[in-house]
Structure 1
């Protein structure tokens, strides 16, 4: 008896010993007849399907699930294995440091009322970002595979080369958010789709004339196929009261921020071998203000990744939301986007 036939007979014997009778016995006989009279090209699953013991839609769903996996799905699967471990921090956005981050025009105008500060700012500084998230649900909520997260991102621009003003942190941005992620059953062009809905607060933690902040509700659409990911995000700014006087601490610090930041953002990420390429673009079509950003990560050493990035436009930070510049940086990343 060859190995294939032995496997089939063993499978049928296990089914019989499990207490299956009646229809199960007929299905077993059907499978043996198919094997004895067939060409030998049918698999056991295919013979079970033909004999009624396995549903076609089950096989189709399994094949579809195995075929349609992408970078977002893979990342979600990896994170789910450790995100509830007490000593594991799950990244949200990228975590990186850029020791050399240059600009074509440092924003001195924002500090015009602070004597000696703006004049001593250097066009090269250090930037770093720390970003993490915490899951809030253990199982499915509304859809299979969905998740609710708390996220937090810190960005800092450090004037480490400005010895005349004691190397201060020129700007820090804090972004706490809560968001809901849900994969969709809509598969287009052989890929997967998902949606993200969230609330986000962003502030630079400053007061008076240097204070910048805004709140927004956003919705995002994700598409993945193999090593390619596309995201489109739109947002609505939650309105704030106007300032009653110049130094009013409760009024809107930047009422025109949408003129420069727009209402939409397009993101593209592509993984090629050990390299990851990213693109971000946003624009306000009414004012023609916006920004573009490109990045690349590459192998460095161990878990460390090299990271190179370029930015052009408005809104590279909150203090620079209405300041146009071109920026270039190179440094080290702890994790990729995907």
Structure 2
């Protein structure tokens, strides 16, 4: 039986390699983890100036990501399917993400506020699909301009650390009928306590022309807010990302769970589980559950 038809084999193989590596390599150096102040340079001692590249969201590669219901007939709400026949996609593919940010302006608001620019790119690669010449199924590009202001007060047992908002654009760079894009103003509030960090992010979609909307009702599926809860200890990291449409009539959303465990230095094994709508833009109104296994390089 060929490997590309056995997703469970790929998952087991990847897990075995990671587990073996964890046993072979002694952890000589601790995982580099950062507080909110260090990640966003909130205190004077943490500031490094402008135009220096910093990590934003995790860098990771999941060589094996399996879907229980891969989207072979993408279509927007209220529109006909993009293709006449289902695309012969494999349920197992590779996913990877790169993400970075840099500070453009420092201490512009009452001597404390900063302006950052961030960029995240996520790829879904049908690398095991020889019949279709191993194409990239979906690429999502997400640039954003972030205004951030440090805070310092107690809130529900946590220490509030920052708040602000971002001008966010997300698109897949494709032509009709599978073009997907939207613009948002995303507000954020972050706090931490001991090994926990919590990000709360509600957003408002910037109105688009209804006649050329690539993804109508995307807020009803992907959501209107997210909560990101992160727990770190001894090089291990647990992350739960929840999104919800905040609608009582037709409630949708998703959850994504990430577990990262130390292998050597800053190299870590990475398990990711997703369930719900909108894992990516082409699947914004498509429900599925996915499991991915791979490695991470940079802490959140």
Cα shift readout 1:92-113 (whole Å, capped 9, x = no counterpart): 1111110001101000111855
| Aligned residue among 299, 303, 328 for 2:262 | 299
Match of 2:145 in 1: 178
Length-normalised TM-score, structure 2: 0.80
Q: Is 1:123–2:91 an aligned residue pair?
A: yes
- Alignment map for 1:24-43 (pairs within 5 Å): none
- Alignment map for 1:309-320 (pairs within 5 Å): 309-320=272-283
Kindly indicate whether the alpha-carbon contact (under 8 Å) linking 2:37 and 2:161 is maintained by their aligned counterparts in 1.
no
- Count residues with an aligned counterpart: 257
Kindly indicate whether the alpha-carbon contact (under 8 Å) linking 2:72 and 2:88 is maintained by their aligned counterparts in 1.
no
Q: 1:90 deviation in Å?
A: 1.3
Q: 1:115 deviation in Å?
A: 6.2
Q: Is 1:269–2:230 an aligned residue pair?
A: yes
Q: 1:210 deviation in Å?
A: 0.3
Q: 1:184 deviation in Å?
A: 1.4
Match of 1:278 in 2: 239
Q: Is 1:212–2:180 an aligned residue pair?
A: yes
* Aligned mates of 2:182, 2:158 — CA distance in 1: 38
| Aligned residue among 100, 104, 126 for 1:132 | 100
Match of 2:135 in 1: 168
Secondary structure at the counterpart of residue 280 of structure 1: strand
Kindly indicate whether the alpha-carbon contact (under 8 Å) linking 2:108 and 2:114 is maintained by their aligned counterparts in 1.
yes
Runs of 4+ in 1 over 6 A off after TM superposition: none
In structure 2, relative to structure 1, the CA distance for the partners of 1:328 and 1:153 (3 Å cut) is: same
Match of 2:271 in 1: 308
| Aligned residue among 154, 159, 162 for 1:191 | 159
Match of 1:12 in 2: none
Cα shift readout 1:1-34 (whole Å, capped 9, x = no counterpart): xxxxxxxxxxxxxxxxxxxxxxxxxxxxxxxxxx
Match of 1:97 in 2: 61
Q: Is 1:74–2:41 an aligned residue pair?
A: no
Q: 1:144 deviation in Å?
A: 4.9
In structure 2, relative to structure 1, the CA distance for the partners of 1:84 and 1:121 (3 Å cut) is: same
Secondary structure at the counterpart of residue 109 of structure 1: coil
Q: 1:190 deviation in Å?
A: 5.6
Cα shift readout 1:261-314 (whole Å, capped 9, x = no counterpart): 221111100111210110011112331111011111111123212111100000
Q: 1:173 deviation in Å?
A: 0.4
Kindly indicate whether the alpha-carbon contact (under 8 Å) linking 2:73 and 2:83 is maintained by their aligned counterparts in 1.
no
Q: 1:128 deviation in Å?
A: 0.6
Q: Pairwise CA RMSD of aligned residues?
A: 2.1
In structure 2, relative to structure 1, the CA distance for the partners of 1:171 and 1:184 (3 Å cut) is: same
Q: Is 1:231–2:199 an aligned residue pair?
A: yes
Secondary structure at the counterpart of residue 90 of structure 2: coil
* Aligned mates of 1:239, 1:267 — CA distance in 2: 26
Kindly indicate whether the alpha-carbon contact (under 8 Å) linking 1:71 and 1:228 is maintained by their aligned counterparts in 2.
no
Cα shift readout 1:116-141 (whole Å, capped 9, x = no counterpart): 7x44200000001111111112x412
Q: 1:212 deviation in Å?
A: 0.6
Length-normalised TM-score, structure 1: 0.71
Cα shift readout 1:166-208 (whole Å, capped 9, x = no counterpart): 0000000000100111111322326233102110000000011
In structure 2, relative to structure 1, the CA distance for the partners of 1:77 and 1:195 (3 Å cut) is: closer
Match of 2:299 in 1: 336
Greater shift in the superposed pair: 189-198 or 176-185: 189-198
* Aligned mates of 1:230, 1:152 — CA distance in 2: 21
Secondary structure at the counterpart of residue 73 of structure 1: helix
When you count strand as a share of all residues, which structure comes out higher?
2
